[in-house]
Chains A and B, each alone.
Chain A
Amino acid sequence: AQKVTQAQTEISVVEKEDVTLDCVYETRDTTYYLFWYKQPPSGELVFLIRRNSFDEQNEISGRYSWNFQKSTSSFNFTITASQVVDSAVYFCALSDLGTSYDKVIFGPGTSLSVIP
């Protein structure tokens, strides 16, 4: 069965620190997709990235970077030089062939607080 684990429930960092949010997933399929979403205090869900299982290249987008490691079933998210605006709940998510890719399974989320 598919599962997404985000072991860090809450993280607090001081502004300008780097922070890594962990994500571990479970799936029996060889083809799957991984996602990260941000939910700021205003409540909306903001898409950050999609990665397919055949692409293990790490991705960098500005201060954000993602490290995908199939060997450990992890898809970790790092924010460099964090800012107060990064304070949000971050969700890691998975869809796979078992769900016909129609359903995205969300992890429980990590609440990040960036303190000025």
Chain B
Amino acid sequence: EPEVTQTPSHQVTQMGQEVILRCVPISNHLYFYWYRQILGQKVEFLVSFYNNEISEKSEIFDDQFSVERPDGSNFTLKIRSTKLEDSAMYFCASSPVRSDGYTFGSGTRLTVV
């Protein structure tokens, strides 16, 4: 069964450093998303991406965050200057059409120290 692949599975970074979380969505999907889940809390929407541009973003997704699809397969989330409160599990997801059931990746656990 096709999968969304996320790397790395766990990243530890120092506060203030830049991190890039990587995702390879399912190849024929057109819609891409990032969500995050702070430990023990609900899953929160960050951003959606379609046709090489952001289609919607949440209040969480401020100027410190950016997304990119640098080639035909990767979809990345960059956090420019990490804060302690950015520590969370970050999930990438993709879907073939809008509002379809997403396929989520297995997540990247980001720990900011």
Contacts and interface: CB of A to CB of B under 8 A. Distances in A.
Interface of A: 33, 35, 37, 42-47, 49-50, 91, 93, 95, 99-109
Interface in B78-112: 89, 91, 93, 98-107, 109
Given A44-B106, A44-B107, A102 B101 contact: no
Interface stretch (B12-20, B37-45, B69-77): B37-45
Contacts of A101: 98-99
A47 B103 contact: yes
Contacts of A107: 42
Nearest to B45: A103
Given A37-B43, A45-B93, A46-B104, 15 more contacts: A33-B99, A35-B101, A43-B106, A44-B104, A45-B104, A50-B100, A91-B42, A91-B43, A93-B43, A99-B56, A102-B98, A103-B58, A105-B45, A106-B42, A107-B42
A52 B107 CA distance: 27
Interface residues of B, number: 27
Nearest to B44: A106
Nearest to B49: A102
B27 interface: no
Interface of B: 31, 33, 35, 41-45, 48, 50, 55-56, 58, 89, 91, 93, 98-107, 109
Contacts of B58: 103
A109 B42 contact: yes
B89 A47 contact: no
A52 to B, nearest CB: 8
Given A45-B91, A91-B42, A50 B101 contact: yes
